[in-house]
Amino acid sequence: MYTAALFAHSWVRWAVVIAGVVVFLRAATGASARRPWTRSDDRASLWFTIALDVQVLLGLLLYVETGLPQRLAADAALVMQSPSARFWTVEHPLGMLVGLALAHVGRVMVRKADVSRRHKLAAIFFGIALIAILASLPWPGMPNGRPWLRWR
């Protein structure tokens, strides 16, 4: 199960990144052009949050499966001393959960806002969520980097 979840987590990451970029660009261009909020804008934000939900669920499954919470509970000081252990145990999950929370709060705020403010709110919330997500990804070439895609 771990291998399948890791494979899916590697691929769904790109759905999150692409959907996040799309929803942010739609919001930013809509705000600058003073375009009305459309059903397509709403659907783009929905797809972003759905992709993010699936990704976080896969990540939580991997997090528990690898025993990271037990290591943190057993010796938090040791985990925090190791940059790699700290990244996988604390920084990566926390950054992703912040991104998830911002995306969901943003979606609710946008839906409740006046039509004239929706694009601006969407650009702010989804933009910050996307920054948190991109900053927390293990990009290739970084100390904790992973391949662009896993093939198995």
- Per-residue model confidence as pLDDT tens digits over 109-142: 999 999 989 999 999 999 999 999 999 999 988 8
Interatomic CA distance for residues 130 and 39, integer angstroms: 21
Helix H or strand E encompassing 129 = helix 118-136
Q: For position 141, what pLDDT does the model report?
A: 87
Element (H, E) at 149: none
Q: Could you say which residues of the chain have pLDDT below 70?
A: none
Dihedrals phi, psi of 44, to nearest 5 degrees: -60, -45
Give the pLDDT confidence score for residue 57 in this predicted structure.
97
Instruction: For helices 39-65 and 2-33, give the axis angle rounded to 10 degrees.
Output: 150
What pLDDT is attached to residue 147?
A: 80
Per-residue pLDDT, 20 = 98
